[in-house]
Amino acid sequence: MIAASRGGRRKNGHGGHQRRPRKAKKPNLMNMPDEVFLRIMSFLDSGSLQGLSSACRRTKELASQFQRANEAPPSGIKLDQLPTEVLAIIISQFLTVKDVGRLSQVNKRFKEICDAEMTWSWMARECLVTNGRSPGFLDVTGPCPIWSSKERVRVSHNWVTNTYTETHLAVQSIRYMPRIQLQRSTLWVSWGKHIWSHPRRKDGSVHNTTNKVLKGHTDDVSKFVVREGCLISGGRDRAMFGWNADTGEFMFSKRFCHGSEVSAVDIMTRHGLIVTGSRDKTVKIWTLDNSYLSSSGGDSSGGSADERAYDPKGRTFPQTVNTLNLRDRVWSLAADPGGRRVVVGTAGLAGVPSLHVIDLETLRGVAGDQGESHEGWLELGQGLKNGAGCLDVQWQSPNCFITCGYDSCTRLWDLRVDAPSGVAVWEEPFNEAIYSLTTDGSHTLLTGTARHGLVRLWDMRDTSAYVAHYYVRHPYLGQSSPVYSVAFDQRHMYAALDQSVNLLSFSALKPQGTQTELA
């Protein structure tokens, strides 16, 4: 073999040179991939990042690239690329009515979404006035109720922002204390000793002429109620009258049924009972033949001045079942939706509470004059001041009712809760007596005050402040009147002053009705 010379390379067995193994490079910051380097930079503060950029050319370029990436807007889906359902929820939850109107003018797709039913249905669930769900309110929603969610929100917005037109439906030259009852196709108004029936148009106004005039009382009608085709009235002549509301047929009269003015009346058709209250401090419960509710035909003149002694249809006339002495003048009363209980509002004087809840089921088996017996009734309002009389009352649910009166407060009472002053209170800001109230059975409350024809709109979910107020215009300049009665549907409000009945229309449609002088 030939020996390798010094300094020479040793050949391998195949005659080639033998290579030495190459040492692996140690990892360091400068030989890392750009993606890893940029990720490391995300953990540095601004000072360290600036120092690193001045280390060498590569770090400077990577620092510039990192800065440009952070300044660029994030990539993602644009607003108009979101699904229609998502956009509808965003619009309904976070935009006002005006904002939705502006958004609908951006492009065609936004306009279609803003006009969609699903967009407005979310808003319509919480809006006032047009969202009433109770059977009583749905019965007076007018000949043309609102079904569109967008229209419900628009009309509710008009109520809240005082956007309306006002019309005098009827004007009197004599001062009265009129009452009104609203039905789907009829507006009932008591003027003096007569009760007038006005057919309603689709826009909520009434015809200039009446189709029924119910006569029989010899003095002013104090209160009347219309339910299930039966109209019962009480007046200052101490008489109670009954008519068929559908046909105007006179059914019966009870002369001198109380010792003083019959100031309150209501019907419990389920039990066939009538309840009347009077200034003679008594409440009387009467029987009512259910055949009266389906009667038809006859004349509306009022019949004989005396109580009928014979009925050709074989119906029995009201007879007294109970007489309850409440020891105070009765101003108002109302029966609950189930016809089981009656709440009676009194003057609240001489230490007598202003509210009495009478249980008809308990009194059913007790006949005759009960005197001052408290069997079957509950007294409320012990925490109210003396003279805080209850002028109007309406049931909100089978266990809850709302009252108003001379103490300038509207109160919600719950029979399941022991609350001496009510579970919720809405106070009139200017300490005015509240003459009338009405609700939609949901969240809307309207109250009529003692002066200037002032009506307030309240959200029953908030007792801190009212939502809106309306000054109902008196027909004679410079005159002031209480709001003796108020009623409303989704688009309209009816208010009875001492010399007029006014219509406030919130539908932005011009009413067809004109000012009418009733004889």
**Which stretch of DSSP H or E encloses residue 120?**
helix 117-124
Task: Give me the CATH topology for the region 165-505.
Answer: Methylamine Dehydrogenase; Chain H (2.130.10)
Q: What is the pLDDT of residue 59?
A: 82
Confidence of residue 342 (pLDDT cuts 50, 70, 90): very high
Average of per-residue pLDDT across 173-191:
92
Confidence of residue 272 (pLDDT cuts 50, 70, 90): confident
Angstrom CA distances, 313 to 3, 129, 295, 301, 480, stand at: 148, 43, 9, 18, 48
Nearby residues of 22 by Cβ (< 8 Å), 6 or more positions away: none
Q: What is the pLDDT of residue 17?
A: 52
Q: What is the pLDDT of residue 294?
A: 52
Q: Is the dihedral of CA 89, 93, 97, 100 positive or negative?
A: negative
Please name every residue paired with 413 in a beta bridge, in sequence order, or none if there are none.
401
| pLDDT tens readout for residues 298-340 | 444 444 444 544 454 556 678 888 899 999 999 999 998 887 8
Record the tokens describing residue 440, joined without a space.
């939609």
Q: What is the pLDDT of residue 75?
A: 55
Confidence of residue 458 (pLDDT cuts 50, 70, 90): very high
**Res. 24: pLDDT tops 70:** no
Average of per-residue pLDDT across 282-306:
60
Average of per-residue pLDDT across 15-21:
55
**Res. 495: pLDDT tops 90:** yes
Provide the 10 A C-beta neighbour count for residue 487: 20
**Which stretch of DSSP H or E encloses residue 495?**
strand 492-496
Q: What is the pLDDT of residue 510?
A: 55
Average of per-residue pLDDT across 192-221:
87
Q: What is the pLDDT of residue 229?
A: 85
CA distance 146 to 517: 31
Q: Is the dihedral of CA 300, 303, 305, 306 positive or negative?
A: negative
Provide the 10 A C-beta neighbour count for residue 456: 22
| pLDDT tens readout for residues 348-379 | 888 888 999 988 877 653 433 444 445 667 88
For the chain, give the number of residues.
519
156 by DSSP, 3-state: which? helix
SS (H, E, C) 387-399: CCCEEEEEEEECC
Please name every residue paired with 457 in a beta bridge, in sequence order, or none if there are none.
446, 468
**Res. 494: pLDDT tops 50:** yes
Residue at token pair 């215009």: 473
User: What is the pTM assigned to this prediction?
Assistant: 0.78
Strands 444-449 and 424-427: unpaired
Angstrom CA distances, 317 to 119, 235, 309, 366, 400, stand at: 55, 19, 8, 20, 32
Listed range (28-32, 139-143, 308-312, 461-465) with the worst mean pLDDT: 308-312
Listed range (127-131, 219-223, 237-241) with the worst mean pLDDT: 127-131
Q: Where in the chain is the domain with CATH 2.130.10.10?
A: 165-505
